[in-house]
Amino acid sequence: MEEYLLVTKDLTKTYKEITAADRVNIHIKRGSIYGLIGKNGAGKTTIMKMIAGLARPTSGSFDYTGFNCTQNEAFSRIGALIEAPAIEPNLTGFDNMRIKCLAYGIGDKQYINDLLDLVGLSGTWKKKAGKYSLGQKQRLGIALALVGDPDFLILDEPINGLDPQGIAEVREMLHKLNQERKITILISSHILEELSKLATDYAIIDNGRIIEESTNKELKEKCRDKIAIKTGEVAKALPVIDGLGFKDYSVVNDKTIHVFDKLSEITVLNMELAKAQIPVESIGIESSDLEEYFLKVTGTIPGERR
Amino acid sequence: MFSKAFKSEFYRISRMKSTYILIAVLAAIILIVNFLYLKVDMYGLMGFSKEDIEGIQQMGTSAESYEDSFMTGFQAGLQSSEEIAEGDTTIHLLGEGILYEESVATLYTMDVGSMYELLLISIFVGLYIGSVYSTGLDKNLNNFAGRRGLLFAVRMLHIAVYSLVMHIFTWIFCLITTAMMAKSVRLEIDKAFILYFIVTWLLCVAFGWIVAGMAHMSRSKAAGITLGIILSAGLLSTLISVASLMMQKRFDLDPDFNLGYYTVTHNVAALNLYSDGHFVVRALICALVYGAISYIGSLLIIRKRDIA
C-alpha cells in the first residue's frame, strides 16, 4: 500500500452561500508531485488554503497521516505560496526572507543567500521587493515557501508571470527539490502543458468538486491517440476487434471502446464491425492533450464525459 | 515559538522606516513645542513683566482660587495689562518662557498631555498592523497557522514596547531641550513622576491597542490611523459632551458627570504630577479596561476568521 502524506475527507468550504470546495477527497502520496487542475474559481486555491492552515474548513477534515504529528506541527513542515507572494514591498528580498527565517528559528544569513541563489535571485537581494519584476516576485515567493526546509510544498500557480526560460528553470528546480530533497509538492497551474511535464498525480476540480483523481500514467493513457468506437453492442464488438489482431484496447463504458494500436486500420475495423452486423453509432480517431482532456472532462467543450 | 515570533516581528519593525521617522518627528515636535514653552516670552507678549507675574504668583496661594488671587494681587496695587501696555514695557518675542524655570518632569507632563505622542503611536500601529493585511504576511508563517493567538500576543507586546520607547524618547527629548533652553536641569524623578510615567504609558498602550483593533477589524492601515487621528485630535469631544448631557438627563446623573473623563485621551491630557489619587486610579482603570477590551476583541476577530 502506498504511503499517503495527506488525505482529505469530504473537505468543504462555504462562503455565505457559495460553496468553494465541496466534499473534496484527495490523496497525496509521499514524494509525489500532485497537480491540481481546474478553471478559475474552481476551488483550487480554497483547497490549498485549507490544507495549509490559512482557512478553516466549514466541514470535513484533512489528515497529514504521513507526518505522524499534530496538525499544528504539520503546518510547521509546510511551505506555501498561495495566490500572490506575501512580500513587504518596502523591504529588500533579503529582509523579507529574514523575517520568515527568524520566525522559523533560522538565524544563519548564508541560508538565505543559498535559497535566493536556488531561485535565481542571488544578484537582487539588496533590491527592494516592491521594485522586483513579476517573475522575480514569484521567485521570491517560492524562496519564502522553501524557508524551514518543508517536507510538503504547496504552490498555487507558481509559474505565473515567468518568462519561458523562467518557467523551465522553476520546473527544473521543483523537479530537483522533489527528487533530491524528497519534498512532496502540491501544485496548481493554468499551463497544463507545463504541469504535465512535472506532475506524477492529478486531480481535476470543477465547481469545487473533484471530478477525477488519477496518476500521470493513467492520464496519459486517457490522452493518447485512439480509435473511439461508440456502439450499443460492446460485448459483440470485442471478438471482432480481437479477430483483427488489435491487442491494446479498453472498454470505457457500456457504449464506448477505445483502441490504441493500429490506428491506420480504422477503415478495416469499421467494415468488419458492419459485416458482423454490429450497429456503430460513431467511429473515429481521437487525439487529445491534457488541455483538451481537461476541457472535455469539465464539460467546457462537448466531449464524451458530460 | 514565542521567542521566534518575537525576533521575527522585532526584525520587521526594525526594518520599517516609519519606526525611526516617527521618533524623528516626535523629536522635531518636542523641540518646537518646548521652544515655545521655554524660550518664547508669552507673558511679555501679553504685556506682563516678569515682576508682575511673580507678584501675582506670590499673592495667590494654593488655598485661593485663581480668580481670588488675581483680585488680591490687583487690589495690592498691581497694574492691569492695559495699564502696562500703556507704559514703557518692551515686548520681546524671545526670553524666558512660561516653563523656563520648571523641571524636566513638568515639561514632560506638558508634552505627554499634548497628545502628539499618542498620534504618532497610532500612526505606527496603523502601519505595523495594517501591513500584515496589505502584504498578506501571515500567509508566510505557516508554523503559526494553528497558533494565531501567540503571534497576535507578540504583536500586541511590540506595540506596548514601541509605546514605551516613544514614552522614553519623549522624556529624553524633554531633557535635551531643557538642557538647551531652560534655566537649569532639574530631573525630579520622584514617586509621583514614576507613577505618572507608568500610568500614562499604560494609557498609550491601551490607545495603541484600540488602533490595532481597528486595523485588525478593517484589515486596513488607513482605518487604524484615521481612528488614531480622530481620537488624539479630540474630534469626538463634542459628541462625547452631547452624549454626557443626554445621559445626565436620562439617568438623572450628577451635573459634573462627563463621559470624557472615562476616555483614554482625556486621561492622558488631564493627568499630571499633582493629580489626586482617585484621578490616577481612574486613569489606570481606563487604561486596563480599554486595553483588555481591545485585546480580547481583536483576538476574537482574528481567531474567528481565515488568514487569507
CATH code of A197's domain: 3.40.50.300
Q: Within 13 Å and on the Cβ side, how many CA atoms surround A140? A: 31
pLDDT value at position B128?
94
Residues 6 or more apart whose Cβ sits within 8 Å of residue A173? A118, A119, A142
The domain spanning residue A275 has which CATH number? 3.30.70.100
Q: What tens-digit pLDDT sequence spans chain B (308 residues)?
A: 899 999 999 999 999 999 999 999 999 999 999 888 888 877 767 666 666 666 665 554 444 444 454 444 444 444 444 444 455 555 667 777 778 788 888 889 998 888 889 999 999 999 999 999 999 889 888 888 888 899 999 999 999 999 999 999 999 999 999 888 878 878 888 888 999 999 999 999 999 999 999 999 999 899 989 998 998 888 888 888 889 889 888 888 888 888 888 989 888 888 888 888 889 999 999 999 999 999 999 999 988 888 86
**A176 and A233 assigned to the same domain:** no
Nearest residue on chain A to B2, alpha-carbon basis: A103
Instruction: Tell me what percent of the residues of chain A surpass a pLDDT of 70.
Output: 96
Q: How far is CA B140 from CA A115, A202, B15, in A?
A: 15, 25, 18
Amino acid at B228: G
User: Is A99's CB within 8 Å of B12's CB?
Assistant: yes
Q: Are residues A123 and A269 in the same domain?
A: no
For the whole model, what pTM was predicted?
0.79
Quote the CA–CA distance of A157 and A83 in Å, as a whole number.
Answer: 7
Say yes or no: B80 contacts chain A, CB-CB below 8 A.
no
Q: CA B137 to CA A100: how far, in whole Å?
A: 9
A99 domain residue, yes or no? yes
Q: Does residue A112 share a domain with residue A235?
A: no
Beta strand A201-206 pairing with A209-215: antiparallel
Q: How many domains does chain A have?
A: 2
Residues of chain B neighbouring A90 (CB-CB closer than 8 A)? 16-17
Overall residue count recorded for chain B in this entry = 308
Residue B75, number of CB atoms within 10 A of its CB: 9
The pLDDT value given to residue B13 = 94
Q: Which residue of B has its CA nearest to A96?
A: B12
Using a CB-CB cut-off of 8 Å, the residues of chain B touching A49 are 306-308
Break chain B into its structural domains and give their ranges: 2-38+99-304, 41-93
> How many beta-carbon pairs below 8 A join chains A and B?
85
Q: Does B150 touch chain A (CB under 8 A)?
A: no
pLDDT for residue B23: 94
| Higher per-residue pLDDT: B10 or A166 | B10
- Distance from B150 to chain A by nearest Cα, in Å? 12
Dmax (CA) of chain B: 78
Q: Is residue A38 part of a domain?
A: yes
Residue A306 maps to a domain:
no
Sheet of A201-206: strands edge to edge? A78-81, A152-156, A184-188, A33-38, A201-206, A209-215
The reply to whether A173 and A273 lie within a common domain is: no
Residue A129, C-alpha cell as written in the block: 521587493
Contact B142 A76 (CB under 8 A): yes
Indicate whether A252 belongs to any domain: yes
Same domain, A132 and A281: no
**Closest chain A CA to residue B4:** A103
- Residue B21 and residue B13 in contact, taking contact as beta carbons nearer than 8 Å: no
Give the list of residues 6+ apart from residue B189 with CB closer than 8 angstroms, or none. B105
Question: Residues A132-161: pLDDT tens digits?
Answer: 888 888 889 999 999 988 999 999 988 877
**Contact flag B136-A55 (C-beta cutoff 8 Å):** no
Put simply, the answer to whether A72 touches B11 (Cβ < 8 Å) is: no
Among A55, A56, A80, select the one facing B142 at the smallest CB separation: A80
Question: Do residues A238 and A269 lie in contact, with contact meaning Cβ atoms separated by under 8 Å?
Answer: no
Residue A299 lies in a domain: no
Pair A170, A50 in one domain:
yes
The answer for residues whose C-beta is within 8 angstroms of residue A138's C-beta and 6 or more apart is: A81, A85, A158, A159, A160, A161, A162, A166
Domain, as residue range, for A37: 4-214
Nearest to A39 by CA among A268, A173, A276, A207: A207
> Minimal Cα distance from A140: which residue of B?
B140
* B11/A104 Cβ within 8 A: no
Residue A300 domain-assigned (yes or no): no
**CA–CA–CA angle A77, A104, B212 (5° rounding):** 110
- Going by C-alpha positions, the residue among A304, A269, A294 that lies closest to residue A219 is A294
Nearest CB neighbour to B308, from listed A76, A83, A147: A83
The reply to whether B5 touches chain A by the CB within 8 Å rule is yes
- Please check whether residue B177 is in contact with residue B107, taking contact to mean a CB–CB distance below 8 angstroms: yes
Going by C-alpha positions, the residue among B110, B88, B122, B78 that lies closest to residue B221 is: B122
Nearest CA in chain A to B17: A90
C-alpha to C-alpha distance for B10 and B14, rounded to whole angstroms:
6
User: Around Cβ A250, how many Cβ atoms within 10 Å?
Assistant: 12
Q: Which of A197, A226, A211, A208 is nearest to A287 (CA)?
A: A226
Closest by CA to A137, choosing from A79, A89, A185, is: A89
Whether residue A241 is found in the same domain as residue A274: yes
Is B114 an interface residue toward A (CB < 8 Å)?
A: no
Q: In degrees rounded to 5, what are phi and psi of residue B24?
A: -65, -40
Same domain, A240 and A91: no
What angle, 0 to 180 degrees and rounded to 10, lies between the N-to-C axes of helices A134-146 and A93-103?
20
What residues of A are in contact with residue B15 (Cβ under 8 Å)? 91, 95, 99
Burial class of residue B151, CB neighbours in 10 A (0-12, 13-18, 19+): buried
Residue A250 bridge partners (DSSP): A258
Q: Is residue A234 located within the same domain as residue A199?
A: no
**How does strand A201-206 pair with strand A33-38?**
parallel
- Is residue A10 domain-shared with residue A144, that is, in the same domain? yes
- Res A98: pLDDT: 94
Structural domain contains residue A293:
no
Whether the pLDDT of residue A301 is over 70: the answer is no
**Contact call for B145 and A53, based on CB within 8 A:** yes
Given this model, what pLDDT does residue B73 score? 46
Is residue A87 in some structural domain? yes
* Chain A contact present for B138, CB below 8 A: yes
In angstroms, what separates the C-alpha of B263 from chain A's closest C-alpha?
35
Cβ of residue B143 closer than 8 Å to a chain A Cβ: yes
Q: Is B301 on the interface with A (CB under 8 A)?
A: no
Domain identity same for A204 and A246: no
Q: So what's the pLDDT on residue B201?
A: 95
Residues of A near B (CB-CB distance < 8 A)?
A: 49, 52-56, 71-72, 75-76, 78-80, 82-84, 86-91, 95, 98-100, 102-105, 144, 147-148
Residue of B nearest to A145 (CA): B140
Of A91, A98, A102, the CB nearest to B4: A102
Residue B82: the pLDDT is 45
So what's the pLDDT on residue A300?
Answer: 64
Matching residue, cell 493513457: A221
